[in-house]
């Protein structure tokens, strides 16, 4: 249960950071208290289309990520 709470805190921290504008993937996860866990959770957010990046190139620490545009429904 405690691990779930940490992931939710990381999620809120990362999404809050992206609300202020896009960021490089490495900077986004590196700015958290648990970068390794944040990296895994950021991949989860990418999978569920909460955040996005340019699919024309592989995801790297230098890739720019941003909040995904959510449909109105």
- Across the range 42-58, mean pLDDT stands at 93
DSSP the chain: -HHHHHHHHHHHHHHHHHHT--EEHHHHHHTSS-HHHHHHHHHHHHHTTSEEE-TTS---TT-EEEEPPPP--
**What are the pLDDT digits (tens) for 3-13?**
555 667 899 99
Which pLDDT does position 8 carry in this prediction?
74
Q: 40 to each of 25, 36, 64, 71, how far by Cα in Å? A: 12, 7, 17, 25
Provide the CATH topology of domain 2-67. Answer: Arc Repressor Mutant, subunit A (1.10.10)
């Amino acid at each position: 249960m405690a691990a779930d709470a940490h992931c939710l805190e990381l999620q809120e921290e990362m999404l809050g950071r992206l609300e202020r504008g896009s960021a490089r993937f490495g900077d986004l996860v590196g700015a958290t208290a648990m970068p390794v866990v944040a990296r895994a959770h950021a991949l989860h957010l990418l999978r569920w289309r909460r955040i996005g990046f340019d699919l024309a190139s592989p995801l790297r620490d230098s890739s720019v990520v941003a909040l995904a545009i959510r449909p109105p429904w």
